[in-house]
Structure 1
Amino acid sequence: MFKKLFGKREKKEETLFAPLNGKVVDIEQVPDPTFSQKLMGEGIAIEPADGTVVSPVNGEIIQFFHTKHAIGIRSETGLEILIHVGLETVMLNGEGFTGHVQVGDKVKVGDRLITFDLEVIKEKAASSITPIVITNMDAVQSIEKFPVTHAKARMDQLMHIMIKK
């Protein structure tokens, strides 16, 4: 009866949880201008302590690069988030990466998305730093970044995003 009278209530905010364990770095400090100059969107980065990426939100996988180095998720609120493991990791052509989801899969916070060999990334890529960016910034009203210096995957909140109505 309540839904009938008032309609479906839409969530207008989202909390991004840490998708990796590791040191949190300002996006402006990422040594790649595509990320540091926010050309892809606002975000944060993590210097990974291990090789597991988990979902930072409840949502759906909307993009998964064939090289398994980057993945796109659309949250239940419509935010689109890109997690890009390392810099210039596309050149590895999938070496050291294992995907655990496919495009179209529904995911919950903490679901395993990608595992990777951190030593391979450190040895063969430009950097292991992993940007996490919101790619549809036109949907964002405001972002509050939490003062986390060392993230614990699934547990620590990194950003609180207010979504435009």
Structure 2
Amino acid sequence: MFSLFKKKKAALHSPTTGTLIPLSKVSDPVFAEGMMGPGVAIEPSIAEIYSPVEGTITTVFPTKHAIGIKSKNGKEILLHIGIDTVELNGEGFDIQVKEGDKVSPDTLLVRVDHSLLKAKGKASTLMVLFPEEKDLPSVQERSVSAKEEIFSLD
């Protein structure tokens, strides 16, 4: 009867289909060493990137390579698309959301032109970062599908 009042656990969902890898395996040391916070990375195999959580868009970088989200349970999340992609000034990114939008794992955030990134010599690795956290559950390298739960955020 009182189960209605239990706090629902928040989950981190895979924002895209591809290979989930520990952040420590990313080729850029800024991410691999956790300088932007702990997180996970995904080598994407599709163009679509969805929200990894229920929450609100807090930032869409003018260069379209990064999106900030505040999850429903208050966690700050930064999606960083690719390595050194800030240099592309938005080329190759088709943003589908704006600041203030409410999102869920079913919300398409951006489509990425991986062919363009490759042609420009940029890695497509997607980093899901938690700048305000100290630690997160560890992940093993494995295939994931978009919207698949990776771990609990509580």
TM-score, length-scaled by structure 1? 0.84
Q: 1:60 aligns with which of 49, 56, 60?
A: 56
Unaligned runs of 5+ in 1: 3-7
Q: 1:153 aligns with which of 138, 146, 152?
A: 146
Q: 1:17 aligns with which of 13, 31, 47?
A: 13
Kindly indicate whether the alpha-carbon contact (under 8 Å) linking 2:40 and 2:139 is maintained by their aligned counterparts in 1: no
Q: Which amino acid aligns with 1:77?
A: N
| Higher RCO structure, 1 or 2 (CA under 8 Å, sep 6+) | 2
Unaligned runs of 5+ in 2: none
Residues 38-57 of structure 1: matches in 2 within 5 Å?
38-57=34-53
Question: Do residues 109 (structure 1) and 105 (structure 2) align?
Answer: yes
The alignment yields a C-alpha RMSD, in angstroms, of 1.9
Task: Give the secondary-structure state (helix, strand or coil) at the position aligned to 1:137.
Answer: coil
Deviation at 1:121, TM superposition (A): 1.1
Q: Partners of 2:107 and 2:138 in 1: how far apart?
A: 22
Quickly say closer, same or farther: Cα 1:125–1:9, change in 2 above 3 A.
farther
Q: Partners of 1:148 and 1:158 in 2: how far apart?
A: 11
Question: Which residue is equivalent to 2:131?
Answer: 135
Q: Which has the larger radius of gyration?
A: 1
Deviation at 1:122, TM superposition (A): 1.5
Question: Which residue is equivalent to 1:144?
Answer: 137
Question: Which residue is equivalent to 1:86?
Answer: 82
Q: Partners of 2:52 and 2:92 in 1: how far apart?
A: 22
Question: Do residues 119 (structure 1) and 110 (structure 2) align?
Answer: no
Q: Which amino acid aligns with 1:152?
A: S
Q: 1:97 aligns with which of 93, 104, 107?
A: 93
CA shift digits 1:112-165 (9 cap, x unpaired): 000111101112143111111111116xxx6334546111001x2223223xxx
Task: Give the secondary-structure state (helix, strand or coil) at the position aligned to 2:153.
Answer: strand
Q: Percent identity?
A: 36
Kindly indicate whether the alpha-carbon contact (under 8 Å) linking 1:69 and 1:86 is maintained by their aligned counterparts in 2: yes
Task: Give the secondary-structure state (helix, strand or coil) at the position aligned to 2:24.
Answer: helix
Q: Which amino acid aligns with 2:142?
A: T
Quickly say closer, same or farther: Cα 1:66–1:125, change in 2 above 3 A.
farther
